[in-house]
């Protein structure tokens, strides 16, 4: 086992934090707290990107960290919070979720993710390569959250958490995608969140609720 530099060790701590937040999101029933957790996930992501930028001397990653800070820590949670207030669903919760089972399935997913990441991380040359397993686990946990939840807002939060996981995967295997592409992805995501916002209003106008159980008319009978 080679000794790890201080920066790498710190990165591992951050990665572990990311995973903990993902589990926290899985267990959180209240929508408002979920948004706070999403913002925290963005903050940890910013810190880890910054750390990689410093330790690997990559100026591009500074921009990328700044972009993450603005988009994922401030803008997205702010838009979501505003939407919640406008829709008057701040205190909403999802009581029907069986959390212990979700946690167990989540644990299984983490093991699976590490198994899947093994052959790839052994090829990577970046300082962050061991964290790819965690990135994949974050993606899969977000996936699980989208499947398990029935509120429109929660599904969107799951979607954004999945994007955070993807971003982390990109920094941990390759020091991030080229800047132009990252900007394009950020733009798409932002437009996506706006459209989600429009949708919330459309859904509520038509169905009087944001519970997705009501959106089950279209199926094969």
Q: Which is nearer to other proteins, 6 or 217 (CB)?
A: 217
Question: With the C-alpha atoms ordered 72, 34, 78, 202, is the resulting torsion angle positive or negative?
Answer: positive
Tokens of 42: 């963005």
State in angstroms the smallest separation of the CB of 100 from other proteins.
25
Residue placing its CB nearer to other proteins in the complex, 78 or 201 = 201
Find where tokens 């459309």 sit: 202
Question: What does the DSSP 8-state code read for residue 94?
Answer: -
Residue ranges of alpha helices (H) inside the chain are: 6-27, 31-56, 59-68, 76-87, 99-121, 132-148, 152-174, 179-207
At closest approach, how far in Å is the CB of 128 from other proteins?
12
Contact 54, 115 (CB under 8 A): no
Binding site for other proteins (CB under 8 A): 116, 119-120, 123-125, 139, 143, 146, 152, 155, 159, 162-163, 166, 169-170, 173-175, 177-178, 180-181, 184-185, 187-188, 191-192, 195-196, 198-199, 202-203, 205-207, 212, 215-218, 220-221
Task: For the CB of residue 188, give the shortest distance to other proteins in the complex, in Å.
Answer: 4
- Smallest gap from Cβ 86 to other proteins, in A, equals 18
Q: In the complex with other proteins, which residue's Cβ is closer, 96 or 215?
A: 215
Separation between Cα atoms, residue 108 and residue 197, nearest integer Å: 33
């Amino acid at each position: 086992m080679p000794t790890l530099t201080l920066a790498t060790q710190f990165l591992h701590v951050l990665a572990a934090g990311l995973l903990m937040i993902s589990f926290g999101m899985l267990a959180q029933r209240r929508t408002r707290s979920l948004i706070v957790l999403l913002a925290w996930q963005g903050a940890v992501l910013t810190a880890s990107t910054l750390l990689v930028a410093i330790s690997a001397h990559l100026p591009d990653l500074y921009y990328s960290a700044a972009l993450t800070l603005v988009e994922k820590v401030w803008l997205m949670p702010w838009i979501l919070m505003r939407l919640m207030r406008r829709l008057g669903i701040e205190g909403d919760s999802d009581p029907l979720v069986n959390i212990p089972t979700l946690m167990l399935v989540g644990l299984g997913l983490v093991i699976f993710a590490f198994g899947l990441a093994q052959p790839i991380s052994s090829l990577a040359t970046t300082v962050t390569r061991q964290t790819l397993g965690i990135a994949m686990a974050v993606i899969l946990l977000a996936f699980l959250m989208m499947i398990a939840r029935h509120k429109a807002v929660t599904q969107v939060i799951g979607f954004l958490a999945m994007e955070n996981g993807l971003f982390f995967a990109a920094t941990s295997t390759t020091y991030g995608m080229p800047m132009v592409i990252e900007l394009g992805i950020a733009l798409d995501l932002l437009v996506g969140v706006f459209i989600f916002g429009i949708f919330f209003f459309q859904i509520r106008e038509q169905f009087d609720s944001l519970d997705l159980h009501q959106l089950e008319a279209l199926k094969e009978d």
